[in-house]
Chain A
Amino acid sequence: MSPSPESRSETGADLVRGVALILAAGLALGFAYNALQRGAGSTQALAWVREEVRLASLEGPAAAPDSTAAETGDPAAASAGDGAQARVEAVPAHPGPPARSPDDAPPAQERAPHGTAPAPAAASAAPPVPPAPATAPAPDALPDVPESNEPREVSYALAKRFHDAGAALFVDARTRGEFAEGHIPGARSLPFDDVFERPELARQLEAGARPIIAYCGSADCNLSRDLAFALVEGGHRRVLVFRGGIAEWRAGGAALDEGGPAEHSP
């Protein structure tokens, strides 16, 4: 029988060459494919150098989207009038009909003077140092949540205030099992996995006039952000992300509810 290439003594060099060939060809094909996608303007194309996606903070540039900056959330929510100006300037305004504010103060519909700005991902530059709070915060006034085609982040302090006022719909992006083990009281279970399989679940979520606050386990987990983007895609225009999630909620000493999901979104 004719010797197969393997029964001859295949040199180690042959093997190394073969491995190098596959690696090099794989790299080349991968880059070429991506270049083609980019050339075709496909949404599947990747940037060559990845940069951090930073969601703009609801509280404006004053508050870094970071748990340690929780305190700065309050001063930025001074009054609906002044606060809205600062906040709207931080994010591109969505050119749409004004949203009904969930709280009492009439919404200050100041649209940012600039046109549609590039995505808040451009705010990946280091967040500026938070300015010292100038005015005493009005503890009862929750900030207006303007409409946007991108979700924004909220700090723990602000999320807690929304929660205590019942002014937002909290959705838990984790699995139902994790939800049952402990969730933010009043939150609805909307596992991102489910929404991923059935995007209509995002569209069907009824938030009424309230903004939606998505959360998951911790800042390490991206489910909350993924769910928030899915909700925006599903048509919701006032979606917030509480990145700190259950971990920060617990660390803040607030209570968690246990038990099975109340109701899945209709």
Chain B
Amino acid sequence: MSPLARTLAHPAALRIARTALGLVLLVAALGKIGDPAAFAGQVENYRLAPLWSVNLIAMSLPWIELLAGLALVLGVRPRAGAVVALLCMAVFTVAVGSAWARGLDFECGCFGKASAATVGARKFTENVGLTLLAAIAALRARGGAAS
């Protein structure tokens, strides 16, 4: 394990990272589950997925996020939860980055309709940060102590 990973993989650091990530995911997921139509509208706005699939994505992605968040917060299969979070974050980061590059200006859809943050540098940076957090949370704990 590289020295950096070893530092980050300290059980206490991991627990913090996982709990923090899990909470972010839970809040994000609940916001989207609360208003599926709004989230579907935002997925459509990104114009990345084919239109017919937008609703399927909008109805399942929040629940995937929710389960990943629960896994992280509750500590049940947290690494799997973190990897799922990592996949989600990677996809979101690409989506936000792509929209930003195309100059699309609409609600971000990151937290459901609760935050009407337009796509841009700030949102992109936030996503990159969360992706990194997810990568950390996915690390295997340093041996010898329960996480």
Interface residues of A, Cβ cutoff 8 Å to B = 1-2, 4, 6-7, 10, 15, 17-19, 21-23, 25-27, 29-31, 33-34, 37, 43-52, 193, 196, 217, 220-223, 226
A150 to chain B, nearest CB (A): 16
Alpha-carbon distance A223/B106, docked complex (angstroms):
8
Flag the segment in B33-41, B90-98, B125-133 that touches A: B33-41
Q: A21-B80, A22-B68 are in contact. Are A49 and B55 (CB under 8 A)?
A: yes
Chain A residues lying within 8 Å of B5, measured Cβ to Cβ, are none
Residues A6 and B55 in contact, CB atoms below 8 Å apart: no
B92 to chain A, nearest CB (A): 15
- The contact of B84 among A19, A31, A46, A196, by CB within 8 Å, is A19
Question: Per-residue 0/1 for B24-55: is the Cβ within 8 Å of any A Cβ (1 yes, 0 no)?
Answer: 00000000010111001100110000011111
Closest residue of chain A to B58, judged by CB? Answer: A46
B22 to chain A, nearest CB (A): 12
Alpha-carbon distance A47/B59, docked complex (angstroms):
10
Chain A residues lying within 8 Å of B100, measured Cβ to Cβ, are none
Residues B147 and A26 in contact, CB atoms below 8 Å apart: no
Q: A15-B79, A15-B80, A221-B106 are in contact. Are A7 and B51 (CB under 8 A)?
A: no
Residues B55 and A46 in contact, CB atoms below 8 Å apart: yes
Chain A residues lying within 8 Å of B87, measured Cβ to Cβ, are 19
Residues B64 and A27 in contact, CB atoms below 8 Å apart: yes
Alpha-carbon distance A27/B68, docked complex (angstroms):
12
B3 within 8 A of A: no
Residues A7 and B141 in contact, CB atoms below 8 Å apart: yes
Residues A15 and B45 in contact, CB atoms below 8 Å apart: no
Q: A4-B141, A30-B63, A50-B40 are in contact. Are A222 and B79 (CB under 8 A)?
A: no
Residues A52 and B145 in contact, CB atoms below 8 Å apart: no
Q: A4-B141, A49-B52 are in contact. Are A18 and B80 (CB under 8 A)?
A: yes
Q: A6-B141, A49-B52, A220-B105 are in contact. Are A23 and B84 (CB under 8 A)?
A: yes
Residues A222 and B106 in contact, CB atoms below 8 Å apart: yes
B67 within 8 A of A: yes
Residues A48 and B116 in contact, CB atoms below 8 Å apart: no
B113 within 8 A of A: yes
Residues B79 and A220 in contact, CB atoms below 8 Å apart: no
Residues B35 and A44 in contact, CB atoms below 8 Å apart: yes
Alpha-carbon distance A174/B130, docked complex (angstroms):
28
Which residues of chain B (118-146) have a CB below 8 Å from chain A?
140-141, 143-146
